[in-house]
Amino acid sequence: MDVFSVSTNVDTYVTGFLWILKLTVAGAIGAVVIGVLLAAMRVSPVPVLRGFGTAWVNTFRNTPLTLIIFFCYFGLYAALGFSASDNIDLNNYWLGVIGLSVYTAAFVCEAVRAGINTVPAGQAEAARAIGMSFRQTLSIVILPQAGRAVVAPLGSILIALCKNSTIVGTIGLAESSSAMKALINANGDAVIPIFLAFAGTFAIVLIPTGYLFGWLANRLAVKR
Amino acid sequence: MSADAVLYDHPGPRAKLRNLILTIIFGIGLLALLWWIYTKFDQKGQWAGQLWKPFTSASTWTDYILPGLGYTVGAAAVAMVLSLIFGLVFAVGRLSEHWWLSVPSGVVVEFFRAVPLLLLMFFIFFGVPFLTQKPMSTFWAVVLALTLYNGSVLAEAFRAGVKSVARGQSEAAYAIGMRKSQVMQSVLIPQAARAMLPVIVSQLVVLVKDTALGYIISYNELIQLGINNLSANFGNVVQAAIVVAIIFIIVNASLTTVAGWLERRTRRSGRAPRATGLPVPAGAVQTGEAAAGTF
In order along its 224 residues, chain A shows pLDDT tens digits of 577 788 888 888 999 999 999 999 999 999 999 999 999 999 888 888 999 999 999 999 999 999 999 888 888 888 777 787 888 888 899 999 999 999 999 999 999 999 998 899 899 999 989 988 888 998 999 989 998 889 989 999 999 999 999 999 988 888 999 999 888 888 888 888 899 999 999 999 999 999 999 999 999 888 77
Decide if A128 and B227 are in contact by the 8 Å CB cutoff: no
Query: Tell me, what DSSP letter sits at residue A63?
Result: S
User: Which residues on chain B are in Cβ contact (under 8 Å) with A181?
Assistant: 122, 126
Whole-angstrom distance, CA of residue A174 vs CA of residue A182: 10
Nearest to B157 by CA among B196, B188, B201: B196
- Burial class from Cβ neighbours inside 10 Å (0-12, 13-18, 19+) for residue B63 reads middle
Residues of B in contact with A177 (CB under 8 A): 116, 118-119, 122
- The distance of A9 to chain B (nearest Cα, Å) reads 16
Quickly state the pLDDT bin for B230 (edges 50, 70, 90): confident
Q: Do residues B66 and B230 lie in contact, with contact meaning Cβ atoms separated by under 8 Å?
A: no
Find the closest chain A residue to B223 by CA distance. A67
Optimal mutation site among A73, A195, A202, interface B, most CBs of chain B within 10 A: A195
Q: Are B40 and A79 an interchain contact pair (Cβ–Cβ within 8 Å)? A: yes
Supply the range of the domain harboring residue B251: 59-268
| Average pLDDT taken over every residue of chain B | 82
Q: Which residue of A has its CA nearest to B44?
A: A79
The number of distinct structural domains making up chain B is 1
Could B6 and A121 be called an inter-chain contact, meaning their C-beta atoms sit closer than 8 Å? yes
Q: What are the chain A neighbours of B259 within 8 Å (beta carbons)?
A: none
Model pLDDT for residues A109-122, shown as the tens digit of each residue: 999 999 998 899 89
**CB atoms near residue A154 (< 10 Å):** 23
**Alpha-carbon gap, residue A210 to A196, rounded angstroms:** 20
The answer to whether the Cβ–Cβ distance between B216 and A170 falls below 8 Å is yes
The answer to whether B210 and B121 are in contact (CB under 8 A) is: no
Q: Give the C-alpha separation, B187 to A65, whole Å.
A: 40
Which residue, among B46, B122, B156, B250, would best test binding to A if mutated, counting the most A CBs under 10 Å from its CB? Answer: B122
Is B184 in contact with B92 (CB distance < 8 Å)?
Answer: yes
Q: Which residue of A has its CA nearest to B216?
A: A170
CATH number at residue B254: 1.10.3720.10
Which residues on chain B are in Cβ contact (under 8 Å) with A116? 1
Residue B271: alpha-carbon gap to chain centroid: 27
Q: Which domains, and CATH codes, for chain A?
A: 2-220 (1.10.3720.10)
Residue B45 lies in a domain: no
Query: How far, in Å, CA of B44 to CA of B51, rounded?
Result: 12
Q: Kindly provide the ipTM of the predicted complex, given to two decimals.
A: 0.88
The answer to whether position B131 is within a domain reads: yes
What is the rounded distance in angstroms from the CA atom of residue B161 to the CA atom of residue B181? 17
With the C-alpha atoms ordered A109, A110, A115, A117, is the resulting torsion angle positive or negative?
A: positive
Please choose, from the candidates A19, A7, A9, the residue with its C-alpha nearest in 3D space to the C-alpha of residue A162.
Answer: A19
- Residue B219 falls inside a structural domain: yes
Which residues in chain A touch residue B248, judged by CB atoms under 8 angstroms apart? Answer: 62-64, 67
User: Could you tell me if residue B1 is inside a domain?
Assistant: no
Res A74: pLDDT: 86
Cα separation of B187 and B166, whole Å?
Answer: 11
Q: Residue A209 has what pLDDT?
A: 94
Helix count (H) and strand count (E) of chain A? Answer: 9, 0
Please write the tens of the pLDDT for every residue from B189-205. Answer: 888 877 788 888 888 88
Residue B288: the pLDDT is 34
Band of pLDDT at residue B290, cut at 50, 70 and 90: very low
Least confident of A135-144, B60-69, B79-88: B60-69
Answer yes or no: is pLDDT of B282 > 60.
no
Domain presence at residue B157: yes
Residue B81 lies in a domain: yes
Please indicate whether, in this complex, the C-beta atoms of B46 and A79 are within 8 angstroms of each other: yes
Listed in sequence order, the residues at least 6 apart from B272 whose beta carbon sits closer than 8 Å to its beta carbon are: none
Task: For residue range B129-167, list pLDDT tens digits in order.
Answer: 888 888 888 899 999 999 999 999 999 888 888 888 888
